[in-house]
Structure 1
Amino acid sequence: MKKALSLAISSVLGVAALASTNAYAIEGLSANASVTSNYLWRGVTQTDDGAAVQGGIDYEHSSGIYVGTWASNVDFGGDEVTGLDASYEADFYFGYAGAVGDFGYDVGYIYYAYPDDSAEIDLGEVYGSVSYSYFTVGAATLVNSGDDAFSDGQDDDWVYVYADAAFEISEGLELGLHVGNFSGDSAEDWFGDSYTDYSVSLSKGGFGLLVSKTDIDGGNLDDVKVAVSYAVDFDL
């Protein structure tokens, strides 16, 4: 999921302008870049409530098959002795998306990598979702993890289920609603118990405002989190 937000945005816009002049664009290949005041994943900060610069590249074939990669800085507050000292996250994913009548669907696999962490905390999930009109429901389940991702003796399993809705409330202004539930032994190992997260967002012209909360009991994990972001997408 900052210290010079305006400079980062200027850099992103510069890259976008450069890409738009590319006379050798590849059909289906696109990129994205963003800055955010807090990188939140399932309602939990991945940057110790700090800012993040993020970006990715995607390729989508006309058949519905897609592959992509995405990266962000992270801060889990760990050290070289205990691990969780990663400074960045790199995700790799592939999947298939399509539609049957008015229903859309998306299934795939994502691998979360933390290459510079002193512990082996990489992990992967299989995910799927179904959408209709303004609404989307989906789920993701853990399928593999590094030796140090969870405590010894824990079963490496979790399930995340969610429901989203997105509405255009005025021209170009979108309201997003989200609720999700994170459960399983590995989720409880990380957060002490299963939990539910909620969020409301507004977005327009690449700018976004997100208000998020969880019902995690302990620390500041149940505090209301607010994130302001700016994102651009462009063809390559």
Structure 2
Amino acid sequence: MKNKPLLMLLGGLTACFCVSTQAEVTANIAASSNYYWRGITQSDDGAAVSGGLDYSSESGFYAGTWVSNIDFGDAASYEMDLYAGYAGEIKGMSFDFGYIHYAYPDANGDIDFGEIYAALGWQYFTFKLSHLATAQSDSTTEEDMLYAEVSASFPIFKDSELTLHIGRSSGDTVLEWTGEDDAYMDYGVSLSTQGFTFGLVKTDLDSSDDIKAYVSYGLDFNL
């Protein structure tokens, strides 16, 4: 659930904006040619396989976990996300707020962090804010990070969806992670149909950055 492009959601990451009619547990698995998070590869431009479990209740409460391989060199080889929140809809306006913890169990040192997030949706559009809430203890700088994103998803053709995305990362943590600047923009477009997604992503971290492409396939199951 990391705004992932198995979406890996130009998303991402990934939350449901409707109150379920009954409690349910679902599972998901996916494979992607690359794992992008906020426009930056988490798998060193290699393939990624992921899977997760989700619980949602008729009250709007949800919780889940998601795991994927990553490639941070010798630093970490896989990521495990834990999240919980509440989602619903009032007079045609959807909302979603919660907390997500990004864990790296085999990391050299403590690089885990967590974010609180809040989103509003109307018709095809969603606006979401994510703010750093807990940070890794191994950091050498003041921890601060805000991610603001806007996405729009439109049905096109038969059983297909086009998603447009723009996001902005800012804060001291962004500078520490990228070594480039304390703020950058990422852009994305994806087309999804019958579990397949083809997407393009780009950032403005470097003026020479090329547009990068990925393809993914995912399945959901009711348990």
TM-score (norm 1): 0.83
In structure 2, the residue matched to 1:54 is 50
Alignment partners' CA distance in 2, 1:60 and 1:172: 25
> Which residue does 1:187 correspond to in 2?
174
Task: Report the counterpart of residue 228 of structure 1 in structure 2.
Answer: 215
Counterpart in 1 of 2:155? 168
d(CA) in 2 for partners of 1:157 and 1:225?
28
2:126 aligned to which of 136, 142, 150: 136
**C-alpha separation in 2, matches of 1:31 and 1:52:** 17
Q: Which amino acid aligns with 1:204?
A: T
Residue 111 of structure 1: aligned partner = 101
Kindly provide the CA deviation profile for residues 139-195 of structure 1, in whole angstroms up to 9, marking residues without a partner as x.
1000111212x3x1x111100000000001111111100000000111122122110
Work out the CA distance in 2 between the residues paired with 1:95 and 1:215. 31
Q: Does 1:67 align with 2:63?
A: yes
Matched, 1:43 2:3: no
Helix, strand or coil: the match of 1:188? helix
Corresponding residue SS for 1:86: coil
Say if 2:23 and 2:58, in contact at 8 Å, map to a contact too.
no
Matches within 5 A, 1:25-40: 27-40=23-36
The aligned residue for residue 9 of structure 2 is none
**Aligned equivalent of 1:216, options 195, 205, 215:** 205
Q: Are the counterparts in 1 of residues 31 and 218 from structure 2 also a CA contact under 8 Å?
A: yes
Q: Does 1:94 find its partner at 2:90? A: no
What SS does the corresponding residue of 2:147 show, helix, strand or coil?
strand
TM-score (norm: length of structure 2): 0.87
Q: Could you report, residue by residue, the CA deviation over 1:95-147 in whole angstroms, capped at 9, with x for unpaired residues?
A: 00001110000000000000001111000000010001000000100011121
What secondary structure, in the 3-state scheme, does the structure 2 residue paired with 1:75 have?
Answer: coil
CA distance in 1, matches of 2:101, 2:204: 26
**Large movers: runs of 4+ above 2 Å:** none
CA offsets 1:20-53 (integer angstroms, 9 cap, x no match): xxxxxx9410011000000000000000000000
**Counterpart in 2 of 1:125?**
115
Residue aligned with 1:186, SS? helix
1:201 aligns with 2:190: yes
Residues in 1 aligned to 2:200 and 2:44: alpha-carbon distance in whole angstroms = 16
Aligned-residue offset at 1:214: 0.2
> Structure 1 vs Structure 2: percent identity of aligned residues?
49
| Aligned-pair CA distance for 1:223 | 2.8
RMSD value, Cα: 1.4
Q: Distance in 1 between matches of 2:165 and 2:23?
A: 32
Question: Quick one: which amino acid aligns to residue 107 of structure 1?
Answer: F
Question: In structure 2, what is the Cα distance between the partners aligned to 1:234 and 1:180?
Answer: 30
Find the aligned partners of 2:92 and 2:201 in 1 and give their Cα distance. Answer: 30
Q: Structure 2 CA distance, aligned partners of 1:207 and 1:158? A: 32
Unaligned runs of 5+ in 1: 2-25, 80-84
Q: Match of 2:8?
A: none
